[in-house]
Structure 1
Amino acid sequence: MAGIGRASAFLASGTMVSRVLGFIKAILIARTIGQVGVSGDAFATANILPNTIFTIIAGGVLSAILVPQIVKATVHADRGAAYINKLLTITLSVLAATTLVAMAAAPLLIKLWASSYGPEQAALATVFALWCLPQLFFYGLYSMLGEILNAHKIFGPFTWSPALNNVVAIAGLFVFIGMFGADSQGLRTASEWSPMMVAVLAGSATLGVAAQALILFRYWKVLGLRFRPDFAWRGVGLAETGKLAGWSFAMIMVTTAAGIVQSRVVSAASGPDNPSIFALQNAWLIFMLPHSVLAVSLTTAYFTRMAEHARALDYDKLKLDVSAALRNVSLMIVASAAILFTVAFPFGFLFTGSPSQAIGIGFVIIAFVVGLVPFCFLFVLQRTFYALGDTRTPFFFTVFQAVLFSVLAAGCLLLDKSVIGFGVALATSIAGTAQAFVAFFLLRRRLRGLDVQQIVNSMAIFTFSAIPATIVGVVSMLLMGGMNTGGWAFSSPITAIISMIIASGVTGGVYLLFLWILRARELATITAPFAKIVRRLRRA
């Protein structure tokens, strides 16, 4: 057990280090080329293409379907070497071909994702894309090599190698700043970019992804594996894989279509002082922090029990799992939403040197935060359907969300360019909230009831506690000038961080105080670990 605990801590630390470095990289990119402006949006559009295309062609298949086949093959006398060589040859062949096609189609992809760009910005985005699209090959290689190592119970490299990616990319950004200077307010026009500037910025981003993948080959020596291309692909099981991946692939396509709608609408706002594609990407990164750190970890802890109870057809216990997961996740996510609402403007300032731009980005963050709790609710509900072996139902409520979002986002084109980004973020929250309600209704019908009353009671307590906490936090931020472009909180990144720490502490403290006054029983989830430490100290 001690060994498992140490291994878990090692993996968790790798994830945390990678996230911290990723956040630093995002802030540094924004400070280097501008959170708002033609340069930042052009680079953001190009840099998201390889990840999106990889997700479409292989993302879900590798982790959910091919990995179990790798695990089965490891029991063979050759430890699965023959199967792995075939599978890796297939993967690399498909990825190489797809990468070359994507690079040839770069102008069309930019037109599809950002049809509102002018000729110069579209040309800049296309050149960025030619440097960024090779990431597609290395994302696939990283996933494949990492899953092979995981199947052989070597977990550390897969978790820690993204940190290397971020280190390389950050180093590239410092080289760029040293050679060409920083443009934190995004004033550099598309015509001012030289081929060398593009190569240093986008090339270092791709070099980071390549390093993240290639470093994993180093650990094959531990397994005694050697990669030898094997084009005899019969018997690998591609037909069966296609059947299993059907609904997951369809859901990915629907989500991608909605993403293209979002990109096309938001690109219409690209320009000086208007939050557009790059601003929304970073606002979403901030939005995802509490979900990634809190909701995912808690839900993962419940998922095993959900799967066990679903397999045993013990729906009464499964309902209790769902209720407990929703309530315990919401306890901390409601607090996170209150804190992000309070610190949104200084948070935005970290990504730009302009207080006025920070206000615009802050409103985008707030629009996303409106949907944070339903988003995390949805994550729990989706995992419950997966525990039941149902990928079909999530596809249909994802279609509902995508259609609703697309209609709302298209309506944002009627807005002034300065608020299109805010409108699209709010449309995301509205559609996600509606999706969560639909998913809850369908799951309740599937399980023939859920503990609705207890969930509603707990949510009422959390919401009532969050209201005074948010008010006190906002007042503290006002006193520090965090909502005034000339205020102390906008004096420098350091003052912005200090104001965020103070406001977060005040907001969180008041929230916990009201939870204690209202006797929220879920509070034990937070206090239990600290209570154990206190008891141990007393015994000592």
Structure 2
Amino acid sequence: MTSEHPPRIRVVSSAKAADTGGIGRASALLASGTIVSRILGFVKLIVLAGMIGAIGNGADAFALANQLPNTVYVIVAGGILTAVLVPQIVRASLNADGGAAYINKLLTLALLILGATTIVATLLAPAITGFIGLPLKGDQLGLAIAFAYWCLPQIFFYGLYTLLGEVLNARKSFGPSTWVPVLNNIVAIAGLVVFGLLFGADPNGQRSAGAFTPAMIAVLAGSATLGVAAQAVVLFYFWRRTGLRYRPDFHFRGVGLGTAGKMAGWTFGMLILSTAAGIVETQVALVATGKASVFVLATAWLIFMLPHSVITVSVATAYFTRMSEHASRGMFDLVRTDASSAIRGTTLMIVLASAVIAVCAYPFAAVFVRPFEQVQGIGNVIVAFILGLVAFCILFVLQRTFYALGDTRTPFFFTLFQVVLIVAGVLGCTLLPKEWIAVGIALVVTLSGIAQTVLAAVLLHRRLGGIDGRRILGSLARYLVAVLLPLALGLALLWLLGGAREGGFAVSGRLPAILSMILIGVVMSAAYFGMLLLMRSAELRAVVDPLRARLRR
């Protein structure tokens, strides 16, 4: 039987290898841009903490105001664009015009909605800030509102960036949307440097809310908004390079926008739920102002998101386009294979990243703050978040698999399940001592996320008739066994370097903390990959074999 069809077997294998290679190249391009952007993001956070402190009235007011554009944007359009755009554009690309008419109409409609939303939100800055920052009073509330007037225009530019970037991703041009955030960070860092030169630094957060002048507010918040605007507008250049031309089109009938609207409705409901949970988290965290609060949660979340952004998003974004193509052709067995490959490929690295960040939580915190009490505050929140990183990354792939299938209704219900758990748990955190409120919130988010991931996996299994569960669980079990020795070595090194005690080398300053993290990370990585090689991990061989072949060539 094999001898009758050797050409077909060779052709299928070659095509499969080429397809896998394409996914690998796209993921590598996405990861490289994300790494540079995230490094600059941490530099920006370090500089910001040096300018206004990590704990204090000014830091919390700015953190709250700078989160508002994301909050409003996510409610109005954030996940809707991701959930709807790529699958719909992939389907529209089968049209004779390659989807050009659909893209122009969709972009015109989205920009109108974003523009109107931005204007209304900016006019309502006092009401929005007062509602989300309910515990803020007096000068601190006034400062947050002043920051919000400068920050809320970011809504439009976040939406523009997402729209242009997702269209490029659907056209398999993955690089630009990943690399342009680098420009955002450069502009924002430059603004912070100017702030320091003009008004001086306050690394311990001792400057009162009333001490911020209009000029200080304009430079600090205005440069943040300018960075977001720069990353969005520059994508028009890459549109032209890929042959796309935007022409406003107000004739919204006839290109299937109704289907997109139905999908968007469920996603909109899901985002309302998530935002409601986020508002509850913020208000409970503000109870702890003066201890680990909003700024600390935001910093810990940024660290938590680092491996997710570099690894999971890079791999899943490339797979998402392919899953959408397979789903549009009814090839659901290939959708199932794609989802399994994406989960196993990402968790291979995410398990290691979780262990390294958990061990290095205190040194990581010491990069941003100096007093050991603040190091402990941020470090404990990092550990509480990082326990849920593997589940969070698996959930990301599962959710995008539903989106590729054109199903936004099911994600709404498993998000509702998570939000109920979060709201109940976070409200319970008000009973904790102030210094433990942020840690409690992070643990609630972690545990509810794990429960949500299990539910999402069960629902996707029913939808596809299976998700390659045994293979995925088998891989996860190997990764968890392989990481035990690296975890023990990392903790031993952390203890020797004084990373868990006041005055220890690993938490004595920025440079010692970075050197300690590099040493611990290298030792843990070598031990982890060594264990996987001894265990003959198929997933590791899938990564190592192409590298070996390339090096030999």
TM-score, with normalisation over the residues of structure 2? 0.85
- Correspondence for 1:383 among 400, 403, 420: 400
Q: Partners in 1 of 2:97 and 2:552 — Cα distance?
A: 51
Give the alignment of 1:238-253 within 5 angstroms.
Answer: 239-253=258-272
Q: Residue 409 of structure 1 aligns with which residue?
A: 426
Aligned to 1:192: 211
CA distance in 2, matches of 1:314, 1:226: 32
Residue 284 of structure 1, CA deviation:
1.0
Structure 2 residue 310 is matched with structure 1 residue 293: yes
2:488 paired residue number: 471
Alpha-carbon distance in structure 2 between the residues aligned to 1:500 and 1:361: 16
How many percent identity over aligned positions?
A: 51
Deviation of 1:509 after TM superposition, in Å, equals: 2.1
CA 507–148 in structure 1, closer or farther in 2 if over 3 Å, else same: closer
- Higher mean C-alpha displacement, 493-502 vs 185-194: 185-194
Cα RMSD, aligned residues only = 3.5
Cα 1:350/1:146, change in 2 over 3 Å:
same
How far apart in 2 are the matches of 1:198 and 1:519?
Answer: 56
Q: Which residue of 1 aligns with 2:282?
A: 263
Residue 269 to residue 497, structure 1, CA distance change in 2 (3 Å): same
Task: Look up the match of 1:275.
Answer: 292
Contact 2:185–2:227 at 8 Å: present in 1 too?
Answer: yes
Match for residue 36 of structure 1 among 55, 80, 83: 55
Residue 370 of structure 2, aligned match among 353, 356, 367: 353
Shift of 1:20: 2.5
Q: Output one character per residue of 1:49-95: Cα deviation in whole Å (capped at 9) or x when no partner.
A: 112212222234445546756995998999958983x6665444433
- List per-residue Cα deviations over 1:249-301 (Å, max 9, x = no partner): 11111111111111111111111xx2111111121111111112222333445
The change in CA–CA distance for 1:45 and 1:460 in structure 2 (over 3 A counts) is same
Q: Structure 2: where are the runs of 5+ without partners?
A: 1-17
Contact 2:83–2:403 at 8 Å: present in 1 too? no
Give how far 1:369 is off: 0.8
Quick one: which of 185, 190, 197 aligns to 1:166? 185
Shift of the 156–441 alpha-carbon distance from structure 1 to 2, 3 Å rule, reads closer
* Match status 1:135 vs 2:154: yes
Cα deviation, residue 214, structure 1 = 3.3
Question: Displacement of 1:36 after TM fit?
Answer: 1.7
Counterpart of 2:512 in structure 1: which amino acid? T
Which runs of structure 2 are paired with 1:421-436 in the superposition (5 Å)?
A: 421-436=438-453
Residue 475 of structure 1, CA deviation: 1.2
The residue aligned with 1:396 is: 413
**1:450-529 correspondence to structure 2 within 5 Å:** 450-529=467-546
Corresponding residue of 1:363: 380
CA 1:454/1:154 → structure 2, altered by over 3 Å: closer, same or farther? closer
Give, in whole Å, the separation in 2 of the partners of 1:70 and 1:534: 35
1:34 Cα shift?
Answer: 1.4
2:183–2:230: 8 Å Cα contact kept in structure 1?
yes
Q: TM-score, normalised by structure 1?
A: 0.87
**Cα offset, 1:213, TM superposition:** 2.9
Aligned to 2:43: 24
1:402-429 C-alpha deviation (Å, 9 max, x unpaired): 1101111110000011010000000000
Aligned pair 1:206/2:253, yes or no?
Answer: no
- 1:531 equivalent to 2:548? Answer yes
Would you say how many aligned residue pairs link Structure 1 and Structure 2? Answer: 533
Structure 1 distance, partners of 2:404, 2:34, is: 25
Which moved further from structure 2: 172-181 or 435-444?
435-444
User: Could you tell me which residue of structure 2 aligns to residue 97 of structure 1?
Assistant: 116
Matched residue type, 1:98: T
Q: Gaps spanning 5+ residues in structure 1: where?
A: none
Distance in 2 (alpha carbons) for counterparts of 1:217 and 1:210: 12
User: In the alignment, residue 353 of structure 1 is paired with which amino acid?
Assistant: R
| Distance in 2 between residues matched to 1:515 and 1:226, nearest whole Å | 48
What is the distance in 1 between the residues matched to 2:447 and 2:167?
Answer: 40
2:361 aligns to what?
A: 344
Question: Is 1:53 the equivalent of 2:68?
Answer: no
Change (3 A) 1:308 1:172: closer
| Residue identity opposite 1:403 in structure 2 | V
SS in 2 for 1:245: helix
Query: Aligned to 1:483, what secondary structure does the other structure show?
Result: coil
In the alignment, the residues of structure 1 paired with residue 474 and residue 29 of structure 2 have an alpha-carbon distance, to the nearest angstrom, of 38
1:331 counterpart residue number = 348
Separation in 2 of the partners of 1:530 and 1:95? Answer: 44
Residue 123, structure 1, aligned to residue 149, structure 2? no
Q: Cα 1:79–1:503, aligned 2, differ >3 Å: closer, same or farther?
A: closer
Distance in 2 between residues matched to 1:354 and 1:281, nearest whole Å: 18
Q: Does the 8 A contact of 1:367 with 1:429 survive in 2?
A: yes
Question: C-alpha deviations, 1:163-219, integer Å up to 9, x for none?
Answer: 222111110000111122222222222122111111110011112122223334556
SS at 1:446's partner residue?
helix
Q: CA deviation at 1:361?
A: 0.3
Indicate if the aligned counterparts of 1:283 and 1:364 stay in contact, CA closer than 8 A. yes
Matched AA of 1:445: R
Mapped contact 1:266–1:420 kept (Cα < 8 A): yes
Distance in 2, matches of 1:375 and 1:156, equals 24
Q: 1:439/1:18 Cα in 2 relative to 1: closer, same or farther (>3 Å)? A: same
Match of 1:437? 454
- The one-letter amino acid of 1:431's match is S
Moved more, 312-321 or 282-291: 312-321
Matches of residues 168-183 of structure 1 in structure 2 within 5 Å? 168-183=187-202
Distance in 2 (CA, whole Å) between partners of 1:305 and 1:223 is: 19
